[in-house]
A and B are shown apart, each in its own frame.
Chain A
């Protein structure tokens, strides 16, 4: 690749996606697709000081393809991006998003706003999902540095971007995770409450959805838990996450597998 110089009228600007498209760096999606590992459950919960995200670790094809996939990644210091759908496309999507936000920052010497990042992803999702059966749906959550608040953006298959002020879920285990969140969420929820509720939602999804992995005590692999606040993207340690799921598991064992009439 030579030096990518453009004249002023056909300059792709600070958008890496646009640049990659004009130069053929990224391959345009084709209309035919092979089936590849997919399925997920990831949730995001807004609490008073930021956002909590929890995601399972399993990739499922005709069998379990992987047990330790990371479906939540930092897109930059104050933004977390999660994916559901086709694994291969999802990973590429995260890479494109991470690079794009950094590219914009370097080109213009200013970081994109959180809303700017959310809108930027819309046409990329649209282009992917309307041209191939390899669906990808992301979930974007982050700390809005200019408004000092945690924000969550979810998308539909056609690229529509919607801000959620309570919580959002993506992936095949969504119905179970969303029900749990709906019952347990309150507008003044704090960090600990949001972490516990998020863990419970993923536990429920893992328990009921065959394509979502729950806590794996045998292999010591647990769902990923992160917070994004004024301190940036922070991933909880494996031990911390293990303890939270052990507590839930213990309660469930004692009640014989039922939630026991209350949200627990």
Chain B
């Protein structure tokens, strides 16, 4: 006969949260910020091919921290959802909020019902146009969704980085200034991050339908100069 021990729901949630937080804290952080012409996402990522930042749709981008296999599957699902929705209705009907909500529901379900909670935190960024606003939606491991007004930080060290970045100007600044602030907030006062260890993506209108652009090391060095 198997013995079942009583575990209070409070204890269960606490254990699961602690487990997820530990997993997320192992990886490096990401910062996403709105600048005067778009959205910039900066990740500290020593790998040049295992990306944390990705294009999802014409005006939507994805960023994830934590376990790579878990957030990459969510990234793929997001691209499929966006392409499928645009195919069924129209490109203009693909909305970041809807996608962020699906992510929140899935993460929430996995947190309470899954074998283990997903050890990820993700961000869905949307570049605004005439009908939609520029938005940063942060979705945490347990499914809470936050609509961040100016910038968002994902990852274990989020609070410290957040305080550092919040010290910068409150107004929207050009890309180079915002990128500099983001990189120094990620690095902190005691160290510098090599350009090769940075992964940077932007959403910005350049006259094309697709607005996502992954910046090369040269472009990043140029902007940080």
Contact = CB atoms under 8 A, between A and B. Distances in A.
A99 B83 contact: yes
A103 B83 contact: yes
A220 interface: no
Contacts of B76: 11, 107
Contacts of A19: 80, 84
A1 interface: yes
Give the interface size class of chain B: 20 to 34
B13 to A, nearest CB: 23
Contacts, number: 54
A2 B105 CA distance: 10
B103 interface: yes
A95 interface: yes
A11 B88 CA distance: 21
Contacts of B80: 4, 19, 103
A4 B77 contact: yes
Contacts of A102: 83, 210
B87 A99 contact: yes
A223 to B, nearest CB: 25
Interface residues of A, number: 20
A5 B83 contact: no
A75 to B, nearest CB: 14
B73 interface: yes
Contact of A106 (B49, B73, B79): B79
A1 B88 contact: yes
Given A2-B102, A4-B81, 8 more contacts: A1-B84, A20-B84, A26-B87, A99-B87, A103-B83, A107-B79, A109-B49, A109-B54
Interface of A: 1-6, 11, 16, 19-20, 23, 25-26, 95, 99, 102-103, 106-107, 109
14 contacts: A3-B102, A4-B80, A4-B84, A16-B83, A25-B84, A26-B87, A95-B87, A99-B86, A103-B79, A103-B83, A106-B55, A107-B76, A109-B51, A109-B214
